[in-house]
Amino acid sequence: MKSFIKAACITALALPCAAALAQGVQGAGDYPNKPVTMVIPFSPGAATDIEGRIYAGKLTESWGQPFVVDFKPGANMTIGMSAVVKQKPDGYTLLYVSASYSLLPLQVKDLPYDPIRNFEQVSLLSKRSAIIAVAPMLPVKNVQEFIAYAKAHPGEVNFATAGNGSIQHLTGLWLQSAIDAKFTFVHFKAAGSGYPDLMAGRVQATPMTFQTSLPLVKSGKVKAIGVASLQRNALMPDVPTFTEQGVPDFEYSSWLGLLAPEKTPAAIVNKLQQELAKIIKLPDVAGKLGAETALYATTPAEFKRYAQNETARWVKLVKENNIKFDDTQ
C-alpha cells in the first residue's frame, strides 16, 4: 500500500506534446531579465496562495530573477484579472486563475473583457478532485446504489451546495443530468456550512474535497460513494471513480492555471510553460502539494481548449436549468 501511495502522489501528469516542444522558445531572448509579478486574485492563505508561491519560488531559482506574488482579491477574481489584462504583454505580469475562471462569463454581467480571448493561456498546473459524499444513514454504498435510490425517490435527495450558481450547484446539476435523476438543491453560504446537515442526514449528498472528507469518512460521519475524477486518488485508493461505476467522464475538480495578457509573445509563453513542465516533476513540489493534488503542465493550446470546454459545459447547464446568477446569495 505504501508503494502504491508513493507512486500515486501525482495522480495525473500531462506532459507537453511534441509539437509544442518543437516550437521551442526562439524569440524569448533573455527573458526574464527583471522581476516578474504573479498576481493571485484571491486572499492569502488559500490553496492558490500556497501553490502559487511554490511555482514562484521555483521559477526564481530557475532563472535568477524574482517572481513576486501580488494579491489582488475580490469580485470573483475580476479585480486581479482587470489589473493584469491592462498590463504590457511582455511576460512580466502573470495571473493565476482557479476553476471559477470558467464561470466568469455567467457570473459577472457586462464583463469588459473576454476571460479566454483577452489572455494567453500558459498552462493548466493542477487539479484537486473531490468525492461525492452522502449522509451516513443513506442506504447506499456506491454510485450504482445511489443512482437507484435517487431514481426511486425523485426530489428526495437534498444536494447541498455553496449557493445558487456555485460550482457545487452546477456539479450537482451535471450529476443529476448524467444519472437521469431529480435532486432538491439546498443552498448554503459556503461549502462547509452544509457538512453538519450532511452528517445529520438533513441533506443527503454534496461534493467534498479529499482533505476535508478524509477524517469524516474514516470516522463514519459521511460515506464516500465515488471519486469525481478520471483516476482514483492515493488518499482514498479503495474508492472507485464515477467512470468506473458507470458514469463516464464525470469530473468535479478545482484547478489552478497560469495566464498572461493577450499578445504576450508565444516564445515567452512557451518558455514559461516548458519551465513549469520541469518544475512540476520535482519531488519536493509534489511532496509539498500532497497526494490530493494532480500536477499538470499542459501546452497553451491544451489549456485554452480545456477552459473553453469547461465554460461551454457550464453555459449549457445554466441554460438548460434556467439558473439566474442574480439570485446568488
Residues 36 and 54 in one domain: yes
Helix axes of 143-152 and 167-179: crossing angle, nearest 10 degrees: 80
Measure the CA–CA gap between 132 and 213, rounded to whole angstroms.
Answer: 10
Return the CATH number at 185: 3.40.190.10
Structural domain that includes position 318: 2-128+252-326
Residues 262 and 120 in one domain: yes
Tens of pLDDT, residues 223-259: 999 999 888 998 999 999 999 999 999 988 889 999 9
Residues 115 and 143 in one domain: no
Final residue of a domain: which of 223, 251, 279? 251
Residues 226 and 171 in one domain: yes
Beta strands in 25-134 (DSSP E): 36-40, 67-71, 93-98, 119-134
Residues 264 and 200 in one domain: no
Tell me: pLDDT of 40 over 90.
yes
How many domains does the structure of the chain reveal?
Answer: 2
Residues 284 and 307 in one domain: yes
For the CA atoms of 161, 164, 165, 166, the dihedral, rounded to the nearest 10 degrees, stands at -30
Tell me: pLDDT of 154 over 80.
yes
Residues 296 and 322 in one domain: yes
Residues 173 and 209 in one domain: yes
State mean pLDDT over 53-76.
95
pTM for this prediction: 0.83
Tens of pLDDT, residues 111-143: 889 999 999 999 999 998 899 999 999 999 999
Return the CATH number at 276: 3.40.190.150
Final residue of a domain: which of 251, 273, 295? 251
